[in-house]
């Protein structure tokens, strides 16, 4: 994931979406300044307290240990983009290899997806075996970033707004993946309704998958029908048809399911941009606590984003049991323990899920 910049939410998306996305995307972007790709925040852990739960990435892998699955229209946008010579070449090479190449998707090989699922916790960010095929090693850059898909758009190793922001980006990812699927199906069918997309389950491998070979000629020809040998032209036409859609047309394609997901995205955006301190708080009983010199490391929403709390702060937070209002607990800490805990610090810790609103009975 690259360093984010100011602008609107729409500016964070591939340009093919433009003004076609709902007006919600005209709002200011959430800028994740702690996730820095050009100087990877996950690569240097030498100064981290020993009590922090850390998982250092390799600088030649980073979070690019992921193979994106591009919807047909984003593959077409890359092929049309003359400013991305290296990215176009890599997409063309992938199409030529015929692995994961279907009318709706330029997908990751199914064998890769099985390996990623099995090795995500142990090897994400650390194994070249999982390295993205569109990653350029010399400069350490993505060759298709301008036209990236939803997972790459919404992944950050660390969040300025902690767990609250993580929930926003997770909901936005769900929305973008829904949009990608809806649009990919729509434009493929509008071009050639006779094409039949393969439906092999994600965790089911063919002999060809195991041996890193493309489908046999007959199977591959059945995917593409009259477009066999013209896959690039098909993807480019998919991109052109998405660009021809207006905002209302895109809304109809995305449908009620998309609007329901977007409602959650709006709510999460509000939580992130206008956080409010809950009336009652509870020290998170589920967080991982690792004791160290002078304090503890705590890990809540992500193993990539631990915090260090001094012993005094950790002890003070233990007074938040969810039983009394926050103001009552803060007053008790001041009068009985001579601890003045700022509410802005408490709000910050709430965003990181160190303290949380207790479950409603």
pLDDT in tens, 285-336: 999 999 989 999 999 999 899 999 999 999 999 999 999 999 999 999 999 9
Whether 1 shows a pLDDT value over 50: the answer reads no
pLDDT given for residue 54 in this prediction: 59
Task: Assign 106 a pLDDT band (cuts: 50, 70, 90).
Answer: very high
Q: For the residues 4-25, what does the mean pLDDT come to?
A: 90
Residue 343 pLDDT: 96
Q: What are phi and psi of 187, to 5 degrees?
A: -70, -35
Of residues 40 and 92, more confidently modeled: 92
**Cβ(180)–Cβ(149) under 8 Å?**
yes
pTM comes to 0.93
Higher per-residue pLDDT: 202 or 16? 16
Q: DSSP E strands: which ranges in 173-261?
A: none
Question: Computed from CA positions of residues 250, 251, 255, 261, in that sequence, does the dihedral angle turn out positive or negative?
Answer: positive
Which whole number is the average pLDDT over 4-9? 75
Using one digit for the tens of pLDDT, what is the confidence trace for 208-252? 999 999 999 999 999 999 999 999 999 999 999 999 999 999 999
What's the mean per-residue pLDDT of the chain?
93
Residue 158: is its pLDDT beyond 60? yes
Name the packing angle between helices 247-273 and 162-191 (round to 10°).
170
Look at residue 3 in the predicted model and tell me its pLDDT. Answer: 47
Find the range with the poorest average confidence among 36-40, 170-174, 297-301, 333-337.
Answer: 36-40
| Percentages (nearest 5) of helix, strand, coil residues in the chain | 50, 10, 40
Q: What is the pLDDT of residue 319?
A: 97
pLDDT score at 184: 98
Report how far residue 186's alpha carbon sits from residue 180's, in angstroms, rounded to the nearest whole number: 10
Residue whose pair of structure tokens reads 């969810």 in the numeric block:
322
How confident is the model over 95-100, as a mean pLDDT? 97
Nearest by Cα to 70 from 155, 152, 168, 154: 152
* Residue 48: band (very low, low, confident or very high) from pLDDT cuts 50, 70, 90: low
Q: State the pLDDT confidence band at 46, using cuts at 50, 70 and 90.
A: low
Query: What pLDDT is attached to residue 202?
Result: 78
pLDDT digits (tens, 9 = 90+) for 50-65: 555 557 888 888 889 9
Give the single-character DSSP code of 26.
G
pLDDT number for residue 2:
44
Rounded mean pLDDT, 268-297: 96
Confidence of residue 42 (pLDDT cuts 50, 70, 90): confident
| 58, two tokens | 């390799």
CA 65 to chain CA centroid, nearest Å: 13
Q: Backbone phi, then psi, for 182, in 5-degree steps?
A: -65, -45
Residue range 117-134: mean pLDDT, rounded: 90
The percentage of the chain sitting over the pLDDT mark of 90, rounded to a whole number, equals 82
Helix (H, G, I), strand (E, B) or coil at 308: strand
Find, among 278, 337, 281, 277, the residue nearest to 313 by Cα. Answer: 337
pLDDT > 70 fraction of the chain, expressed in percent and rounded: 95
CA atoms of 25 and 18, how far apart (whole Å): 10
For residue 4, name the pLDDT band (cuts at 50, 70, 90): very low
Closest CA to 197 of 104, 76, 73: 104
- What pLDDT is recorded for position 52? 55
Burial 13-39 (b: 16+ CB within 10 A, else e): bbebbeebbbeebeeeebebebbbbee
Q: What is the DSSP letter of 307?
A: E
Q: So what's the pLDDT on residue 188? A: 98
Min mean pLDDT across 154-158, 201-205, 218-222 is at: 201-205
* 169-203 as b/e: b if 16+ CB within 10 A: bebbbbbbbbbbbbbbbbbbeebeeebeeeeeeee
């Amino acid at each position: 994931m690259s360093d984010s910049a100011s602008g609107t939410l729409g500016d964070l998306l591939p340009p093919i979406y433009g003004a076609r996305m709902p007006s919600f995307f005209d709002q200011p972007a959430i800028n994740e300044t702690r996730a820095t790709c050009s100087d990877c925040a996950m690569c240097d852990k030498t100064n981290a307290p020993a009590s922090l739960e850390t998982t250092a990435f390799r600088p030649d892998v980073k979070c690019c240990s992921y193979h994106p699955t591009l919807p047909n229209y984003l593959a077409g946008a890359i092929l049309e983009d003359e400013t991305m010579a290296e990215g176009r070449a890599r997409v063309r090479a992938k199409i030529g290899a015929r692995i994961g190449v279907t009318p709706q998707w330029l997908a990751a090989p199914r064998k890769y997806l099985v390996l990623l699922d099995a090795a995500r916790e142990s090897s994400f960010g650390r194994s070249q075996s999982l390295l993205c095929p569109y990653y350029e090693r010399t400069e350490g850059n993505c060759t298709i970033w301008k036209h990236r898909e939803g997972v790459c758009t919404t992944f950050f190793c660390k969040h300025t707004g902690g767990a609250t922001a993580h929930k926003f980006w997770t909901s936005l990812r769900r929305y973008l993946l829904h949009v990608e699927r809806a649009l990919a199906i729509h434009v493929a069918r509008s071009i050639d309704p006779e094409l039949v997309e393969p439906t092999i389950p994600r965790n089911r491998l063919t002999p060809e998958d195991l041996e890193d070979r493309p489908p046999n000629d007959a199977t591959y020809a059945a995917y593409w029908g009259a477009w066999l040998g013209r896959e690039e032209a098909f993807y480019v036409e998919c991109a052109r048809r998405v660009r021809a859609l207006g905002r209302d047309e895109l809304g109809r394609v995305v449908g009620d399911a998309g609007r329901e997901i977007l409602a959650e995205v709006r709510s999460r955006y509000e939580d992130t941009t206008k956080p409010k301190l809950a009336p009652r708080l509870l020290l998170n009983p589920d967080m991982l606590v690792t004791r160290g010199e002078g304090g503890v490391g705590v890990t809540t929403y992500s193993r990539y984003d631990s915090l260090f709390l001094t012993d005094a702060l950790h002890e003070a937070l233990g007074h938040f049991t969810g039983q009394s209002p926050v103001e009552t607990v803060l007053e008790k800490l001041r009068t009985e323990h001579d601890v003045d805990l700022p509410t802005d610090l408490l709000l910050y810790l709430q965003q990181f899920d160190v303290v949380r609103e207790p479950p409603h009975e």
